[in-house]
Amino acid sequence: MSDLDRTAAAIRDGNLVVYPTETVYGLGADALDPAVVDRVYETKGRDRSNPISLAVPDIDAAESYVRPTERERAFMERFLPGPVTVLCERRDVVPDVLTAGSDRVGVRIPDHDLALALLDRVEPITATSANVSGRPSARTAEDVDEEVRKTASAVLDGGETGGVESTVVDVVSGEIHRPGALSDEIEIWLAEH
């Protein structure tokens, strides 16, 4: 069994994994299983009022979990896959624990071959950095915090990542919640569309 298949199987079995993206290493788990999402919060020491995004392999897959507006879909087609998290109205299948009770959830389609190959095998998975909250994000598999590494059933090593976290965008309000990669291009797009 390949590392990729082993990692996908670990997620399907309700375990946490570490996977690479074009931005930083992510902590992946079944985004639809509330108990597993709880473990992601515990592992990171993350405040439960701080929502976690979900990752999918493509825009069509995203529509199983969110209801994007026409403008959100146009934005996704322009910037995804890429280092961007788009906030969209969630469908009922997305658990409250993932969104901290919000009716919106962040959608991520990483521009990274290994991440996309993993997502082709299992989706949606949590899209949050593989670090203890408040500590620097991991740019290499070796940089992943020991506490996170001990909890993860698999670490998918994809070499060094870009290191700049994704830009979190609310396309409906035209607001950038967290500037990151492509922020300038995104601001221009939001102003023009």
**Full pLDDT tens readout for the chain, 193 residues:** 899 999 999 999 999 999 999 999 999 999 999 999 999 999 999 999 999 999 999 999 999 999 999 999 999 999 999 999 999 999 999 999 999 999 999 999 999 999 999 999 999 999 999 999 999 999 999 999 999 999 999 999 999 999 888 999 999 999 999 999 899 999 999 999 9
Determine the pLDDT at residue 190: 97
Which tokens sit at 51? 């929502």
Domain-wise residue ranges, the chain: 3-192
Q: Is 3-192 assigned to CATH 3.90.870.10? A: yes
Torsions phi, psi for 73 (to 5 deg): -65, -45
Q: Which CA distances in Å does 147 have to 89, 112, 124, 163?
A: 33, 25, 24, 20
Task: Give which of 114, 150, 118, 144 is closest to 132, Cα–Cα.
Answer: 144
Which tokens sit at 110? 């990483």
Instruction: Please give the Cα distance from 2 to 172 (Å, whole number).
Output: 41
**0.85 cut: is pTM over it?**
yes
Task: Give which of 40, 82, 76 is closest to 65, Cα–Cα.
Answer: 76
Separation of CA 135 from chain center: 18
At 88, which helix (H) or strand (E)?
Answer: strand 84-90
